Amino acid sequence: MKSLKESLIRWRRRPWIWSFLGAILIWVLAVGLAGGHGGWSVFTTALAFSAFTVLVGLGQMFVITLGPGNIDLSLPANIGLASAVAMKVMDGSDARIAIGLGAAILAGLLIGLANYALIRVLRIPPLIATLSSSFVIRSVGISYGRGLQIKPPQAFADVVLTRIGGISLPALLVLLMSIFAGVVLARTVYGRSVLAVGQNARAARLAGLPVGLVRLATYALCGALGGLCGALLAGFTGGSSLDVGAEYLLTSIAVVVIGGTSVAGGLANVPGLWGAALMLFLTATLLNSSGLGVDVRDLMTGLIIIAVITLAGGRRSLR
Amino acid sequence: MNAVVKSGPSKLWTDQNRRFDPRRLFRSALPGLSLLIVLAAIYDFNPRAISYFGFNLMLNLAVPVALATAAQLCIIAVSDLDLSIGAYVGFIACVTTTWLPTTPLLGTAAILASIVAYGALGALVHWRQLPSIVVTLGMSFVWLGLALFVRPQPGGLSPVWLSTFMGLHVPYVPFPIVAAVVLAIVLHLVLMNTAFGAVLRGAGGNATAVGRSGWSLLRIKATAYAMAGVLGSLAGLSLVGVSSSADANMANGYTLLSIAGAILGGAEFIGGRISPIGAVMGALTLQLATVALNFFQLPEVFPGFRIPPEWQVGAQGIILIVILAIRALINRGEA
């Protein structure tokens, strides 16, 4: 009896549980509205789309965990450019898929490094630095892509759209990456350093941690994940597009916050990303299928974000 | 946390005693210098643009941008950030074109209620100690949703009085410049020259100290946000006055533009360090730079070097980076 109570308390302490409960509730509503049919397909579709949100959410989570002020606003431009780079390098040829993927990730990585260079060398706040760089990246994307929509190689599109037991391959990949990210955060020197810097950068520096290097690696990681997301999205949607990343500006931040990661930094939560991403996608599905328009969907998304952050409390919970 | 400590009373005191520091002078002149450089560049492209009609045309959209920047400045003054101002300006524009011409009472009530909502948001941010970025991020969805509800399709009508006012022809000086100057002066007087403004900025610099000396931080935050709501509403109204139709997404870019303008104008993200006149100049600079890049297709920066059209967005980013880099250099010397 006691152990049950203890485990209940332990479960309640996990903030990500709420995003999953919310996702399940909305899933039940959505399936109920459809007359109890298609529950599995609604779930697998949600998984397939959430995978991309979680992928960029992972990068954004690492950056936000670095502490107050740290944020990457260049992700949408990054995703758009990377999708163009991937498609152009692959050039519709199955043999060049690996090179294209590598090129997209490299492009993202370079963007991350450039972001950190702006932050560090010019001492610009991350918000403004990544905002300014996103303008520049967008122009690079326009002049590089020239508005062409290049089709992905058939094999690449097939792989990205493959479903194993109903679950899409990108979702499985991102699931593995999430587990890996969780292990990195909890068990590696780099992961622990990110948390330490986020909790108190001054203390971390005095403790001898290479704070600058940790930040550099984190922005680079976030950029690389954005690059990978761009390449996968191009395969998923059947071609590169500069606007493919537009929706990920706000959703990448939203899933991090709803998922229980502390906005004040120093406290990350990987499972919550999935719960939040599924919840947002299922909310959109539910509102779409119940005939309500995009206006109600936006309104609900906003109210959910505010409700979650109000209930979870802000900086106070950290102290 | 460091910055809060840095901008404590002792720092303020020494600042006042270093009035003749050339670096500080250069720093505060930077927004004006940037504006002059952009003006000089425009004159170089086309001397006729620097005229009464040229300015009327180029600064057409500067009034709403400057008002949105002023709104953002009120939030930055209390060390918060507003990621919803663009969506809010769009929402107000939708309300203005949909309800104000036909049912003015409903329209006015909606705008007043939104301002109250803004103030309540500030109270919520203080009460629950929430990060403003996340709350206003959520609000940006809310305003966008409401805007789409009010006006699902772009279009609508501008109230006649509004278009007349925004199309006002002032003799000798173009109307947008008059409006910008009035805005800068009023904002400067309220934020920099009144006791209330000092308390507001104080709350941005050291909230604990202001709270301990007996001011209600809740009221300060709510007032700052409500002021942003008022200025944001004016931005929406003036935007309709200029463009005479509305679309829920029409002002989304204002969020980032307003932050950039305020920062260009010399504001710091934390510590309640702001400059209202600089912010208005920053907004004008960004607006003129955008217009210059749009109007004069393929402007020739150096002989033989033209900016391709796809680099117009990028040029904005580069302008921002360059000006911030110069400021970082000055700050480094100062420290």
CA distance A126 to chain B (A): 11
Give A206's contacts in chain B (Cβ within 8 Å). Answer: none
Provide the chain B residues 163-182 that lie in CB contact (below 8 A) with chain A: none
CA distance B105 to chain A (A): 24
Question: Per-residue pLDDT for B16 more than 80?
Answer: no
The winner for highest mean pLDDT among A154-163, A292-301, B24-33, B218-227 is B218-227
8 A C-beta contact, residue A58 and residue A178: yes
Interface mutation vs chain B, best among A74, A128, A250, most B CBs within 10 Å: A128
Interface mutation vs chain B, best among A61, A120, A310, most B CBs within 10 Å: A310
Mean pLDDT of B105-116: 96
Full set of structural domains in chain A with CATH? 17-30+39-313 (1.10.3470)
Give the confidence band of B10 by pLDDT, cuts at 50, 70, 90: very low
How many domains are contained in chain B? Answer: 1
Do the chains contact at B149 and A295, CB–CB below 8 Å?
yes
More confident residue, B90 or B317: B90
Question: Per-residue pLDDT for B331 more than 80?
Answer: no
In the prediction, which pLDDT does A319 show? 31
CA gap A254, A243 in Å, rounded = 19
For residue range B34-92, what is the model confidence (pLDDT) as tens digits? 888 888 888 887 788 888 888 887 888 899 999 999 999 999 999 888 989 999 999 99
Report the range of poorest mean pLDDT among A283-297, B173-187, B219-233, B287-301: B287-301
Do the chains contact at A132 and B321, CB–CB below 8 Å?
yes
**3-state SS, residue B11:** helix
The one-character DSSP state at B306 is: E
CA gap A24, A20 in Å, rounded = 6
CA gap A228, A86 in Å, rounded = 9
Instruction: Give the domain extent around B32.
Output: 7-12+20-334
Interface mutation vs chain A, best among B141, B312, B326, most A CBs within 10 Å: B141
In the prediction, which pLDDT does A262 show? 83
Do the chains contact at A298 and B142, CB–CB below 8 Å?
yes
Q: Is residue B1 part of a domain?
A: no
Indicate the residue of B135, B141, B314 with minimum beta-carbon distance to A309: B135
Instruction: Going from the first residue of chain A to its last (319 residues), give the mean pLDDT of each consecutive group of 10, the final group possibly shorter.
Output: 64 71 87 80 91 96 92 93 92 89 96 95 86 89 76 89 89 95 94 94 93 96 96 89 83 87 86 92 83 83 83 49
Q: Is residue B196 part of a domain?
A: yes
CA distance A314 to chain B (A): 4
CA distance A174 to chain B (A): 25
Indicate the residue of A250, A310, A316 with minimum beta-carbon distance to B124: A310
In the prediction, which pLDDT does B43 show? 84
Question: Per-residue pLDDT for B239 more than 90?
Answer: yes
ipTM of the complex: 0.79
The HSE-up count of residue A245 (CA atoms within 13 Å, CB side) is 33
Question: Per-residue pLDDT for B165 more than 50?
Answer: yes
In the prediction, which pLDDT does B33 show? 87
Do the chains contact at A295 and B148, CB–CB below 8 Å?
yes
Q: Is residue B2 part of a domain?
A: no
The identity of residue A16, as a single letter, is W
Do the chains contact at A128 and B137, CB–CB below 8 Å?
no
Mean pLDDT of B294-307: 57
DSSP one-letter string for A150-194: PPPPHHHHHHHH-EETTEEHHHHHHHHHHHHHHHHHHHSHHHHHH
Question: Per-residue pLDDT for B1 more than 80?
Answer: no
CA distance A108 to chain B (A): 17
Work out the percent of chain B whose per-residue pLDDT is above 70: 87
**3-state SS, residue B230:** helix
Q: Is residue B184 part of a domain?
A: yes
Q: Is residue B41 part of a domain?
A: yes
Do the chains contact at B313 and A142, CB–CB below 8 Å?
yes
Chain B residue with minimal CA distance to A130?
B317
Q: CATH code at B219?
A: 1.10.3470
Do the chains contact at B145 and A254, CB–CB below 8 Å?
no
Question: Per-residue pLDDT for B5 more than 50?
Answer: no
In the prediction, which pLDDT does A316 show? 41
CA distance A3 to chain B (A): 33
Question: Per-residue pLDDT for B325 more than 50?
Answer: yes
In the prediction, which pLDDT does A189 show? 95
What is the count of residue pairs from A and B with beta carbons less than 8 Å apart?
A: 145
Give the confidence band of B300 by pLDDT, cuts at 50, 70, 90: low
As a residue count, chain A comes to 319
**3-state SS, residue A100:** helix
Provide the chain B residues 56-85 that lie in CB contact (below 8 A) with chain A: 81
Question: Per-residue pLDDT for B243 more than 80?
Answer: yes
In the prediction, which pLDDT does B13 show? 44
Report the range of poorest mean pLDDT among A256-270, B17-31, B137-151: B17-31
Chain A residue with minimal CA distance to B131?
A314
In the prediction, which pLDDT does A148 show? 65
Do the chains contact at B259 and A125, CB–CB below 8 Å?
no
Question: Per-residue pLDDT for B201 more than 70?
Answer: yes
Do the chains contact at A306 and B135, CB–CB below 8 Å?
yes
In the prediction, which pLDDT does A312 show? 67
Whether B133 and chain A come into contact, CB under 8 Å, resolves to yes
Chain B residue with minimal CA distance to A125?
B269
In the prediction, which pLDDT does B173 show? 87
Q: Is residue B221 part of a domain?
A: yes
Question: Per-residue pLDDT for B303 more than 60?
Answer: no
Chain A residue with minimal CA distance to B263?
A128
